[in-house]
Amino acid sequence: MTRPTTERIRAMLGSAVRVDATADGIPRATPRHEEECALLLHHANAEGWTVAVQGSGAWAAPRPAALVIATTGLDGLSDVSPADLVATVRAGTTWRRLQQELGDHGMWLAIDPPGSDRTVGSVTATGTAGPLRSGFGQVREHILGLTIVTGDGKVVRTGGRVVKNVAGYDLAKLVTGSFGAFGIVTELHLRLRTVPRADQTLVGRGVRDELLDAALAIAEGGVPPAALELLSPGATGGDGWRLAVRLLGTDGDVEAGRNDVCRRAGIALADTSAMESAALWRGAAARAVDGQVTVRLGGLPEGLAATLDLVAHHLDDTVEDWMSATVPAGTVRWTGDARIEDLNLLRRLAAEREIPLTVERAPWETLERLGHFGAYREGVGRLVRGLCDVFDPGAVLRAPVGAT
């Protein structure tokens, strides 16, 4: 593997850019602008260096590479427009900082990704929505436009700052959730919401399938709550399964929602204080990295009991791990430690049921063998391969998306 020296990278970028070495002695650059990022990737492509992208280090495991590009220098909110409910933010900004600054303007981004202290770029690259997916959709739904630097150092700007836009292909959708296969995201335009006046979480306790039935009954009602999440003991740090229902909106909305949810649930749902509910949601997100591997299975709401059984049977038969089901979306996320063979078998069995299994995070050795994806339908693998060749022609980023 060709590898540049730290001095070479320093000379390339000038003294204003931080260049150091990782614990393994790999040169690491922290560019401050997309042009510097483009310069690095242009050279990497020309010289055959492989590149690993590092955010805050809170989600993805390190991977071998000739050069590390840290995105933490690409940080800060470039623009916030409360009247338009749109913000432009650089990808290295931490989630916490983003929400804090938006909060100062009375706004927020309605995504609560698993993990904590992650960067905006990490959440975008992995497409990891949390429980709020019930009410607000996937990560892709919140991104109006973005800038990427491709594997060979080209800058591509797609979408825009307006909330409705069909000019050109929707490359932002392609990039979101592609695990960095098509480039390094440097900046995003995000769709915001005003901070709701009322925010109430109700919690039910009981046996898993009883809670799931209650959740399905709630979901069958009208509009799904902001969150309708089934959480394993490992996810809450408690001693049994929980059903957590989050209602957001005006006081009237939340009151109406509570009545509706309680009527449909058929089980007791207890109010929580603001402090308790914040601890519940934050704790569950933080524990999502308690274990080396996180996978997501995307099925249908009706099939959730079977999906949960499938995961439990193959990865977690003592039900001690972190597990969470976003009921209206039909998705299950699991975190723990698992053997590659078990993950592979689970992926195959899930695929037979038309359920994609995405490896959201794992040690490099696992990812390299399994790929983030890897159960492509006939004819789709070649499209993904072709797209990787377009955006990463020198295989500099070589994201394990099953394209090699």
Partner 1 sequence: MTALTQVLSAIEPIVGSRWIRRGRAELETYSSDGLPTLHARPGAAVLPGSRDEVIRIVRALAQYHVPFVARGAGTGLSGGALAQADALLIILTRLTRILQIDPRNRRATVEPGVVNVRLSNAAAPFGLHYAPDPSSQTACTLGGNVAENAGGPHCVKYGVTTNHILALEVVLPDGDVVQLGSPGGDPWGPDLVGLFVGSEGMLGIATRITVRLTPLPTAVRTLLADFNTLRAAGEAVSAIIAAGVVPAALEMMDRNCVGVVESSIYAAGYPTDAAAVLLVELDGMEDDAVADVARAVAALLADHGARTIRTASDEADRQRLWQGRKKAFGALGRLSPDLVVQDAVVPRSTLPDVLDRIAAIGDRYGLTVSNVFHAGDGNLHPNITFDRSDPDQRHRVERASVEIMEACIAAGGTITGEHGVGRDKLRYMPALFDANTLGAMRAVRRVFDPEERCNPGKVIPIHACREWTTAKRTIT
CA dist 169 and 370 (Å) reads 30
Binder among 82, 103, 240, 266 for partner 1 (CB under 8 A): 82
Question: Which pair of structure tokens corresponds to residue 392?
Answer: 């990463």
Which of 29, 133, 45, 157 has the alpha carbon at shortest distance from 393? 45
Instruction: Tell me which stretch binds partner 1 (CB under 8 A): 7-15, 65-73, 238-246, 385-393.
Output: 385-393
C-beta of 58: minimal distance to partner 1 in Å?
23
CA dist 229 and 244 (Å) reads 5
Pairing of strands 51-54, 27-30: unpaired
The answer to whether 47 and 41 have CB atoms below 8 angstroms apart is: no
The footprint of partner 1 on residues 107-136 (CB under 8 A) is: 127
**Shorter beta-carbon distance to partner 1: residue 58 or 300:** 300
Which of 275, 246, 303 has the alpha carbon at shortest distance from 132? 246
Is 86 among the residues that bind partner 1 (CB under 8 A)?
yes
- What element of type H or E holds 177? none
Segments in 220-339 forming alpha helices (H):
233-236, 251-265, 274-287, 304-315
Is 83 among the residues that bind partner 1 (CB under 8 A)?
yes
The footprint of partner 1 on residues 363-382 (CB under 8 A) is: 373, 375-381
Instruction: Tell me which stretch binds partner 1 (CB under 8 A): 64-72, 194-202, 338-346, 361-369.
Output: 194-202
Q: Is the dihedral of CA 139, 217, 198, 162 positive or negative?
A: positive
**Shorter beta-carbon distance to partner 1: residue 47 or 290:** 47
Is 195 among the residues that bind partner 1 (CB under 8 A)?
yes
The footprint of partner 1 on residues 161-190 (CB under 8 A) is: 161-171, 173-174, 176-178, 181-182
- Written as one string, the DSSP assignment of 142-207 is GEEEEEEE-TTS-EEEEE-SSS---SS--HHHHHTTSTTTT-EEEEEEEE-EEPPSEEEEEEEEE-
**Shorter beta-carbon distance to partner 1: residue 28 or 398:** 398
**Shorter beta-carbon distance to partner 1: residue 27 or 298:** 298
Helices and strands (H and E) in the chain: how many:
14, 19
**Shorter beta-carbon distance to partner 1: residue 78 or 404:** 404
The footprint of partner 1 on residues 236-295 (CB under 8 A) is: 249-250, 252-253, 255-257, 259-260
**Shorter beta-carbon distance to partner 1: residue 27 or 402:** 402
If you search the block for the tokens 């409910």, which residue do you land on? 85
**Shorter beta-carbon distance to partner 1: residue 73 or 299:** 299
Binder among 55, 73, 114, 394 for partner 1 (CB under 8 A): 394
Instruction: Tell me which stretch binds partner 1 (CB under 8 A): 18-26, 59-67, 276-284, 389-397.
Output: 389-397
C-beta of 50: minimal distance to partner 1 in Å?
13
Residues 3-32: x/- map of binding to partner 1 (CB under 8 A)? ------------------------------
- What element of type H or E holds 53? strand 51-54
3-state class of 383 per DSSP? helix
Query: Mind spelling out the 3-state secondary structure of 117-137?
Result: CCEHHHHHHHCCCCCCHHHHC
C-beta of 279: minimal distance to partner 1 in Å?
26
Is 352 among the residues that bind partner 1 (CB under 8 A)?
no
C-beta of 172: minimal distance to partner 1 in Å?
8
If you search the block for the tokens 């977690």, which residue do you land on? 316
C-beta of 183: minimal distance to partner 1 in Å?
10
Is 1 among the residues that bind partner 1 (CB under 8 A)?
no
Q: Is the dihedral of CA 99, 102, 104, 108 positive or negative?
A: negative
Is 59 among the residues that bind partner 1 (CB under 8 A)?
no
Strand runs (DSSP E) across 241-398, as ranges?
241-249, 270-271, 293-298, 322-326, 331-336, 357-361
Give CA torsion, residues 207, 212, 213, 214, to 10 deg. 90
Binder among 184, 329, 338, 370 for partner 1 (CB under 8 A): 329
What residues pair up with 51 in beta bridges, in sequence order?
A: 67
Binder among 132, 190, 312, 401 for partner 1 (CB under 8 A): 401
**Shorter beta-carbon distance to partner 1: residue 291 or 402:** 402
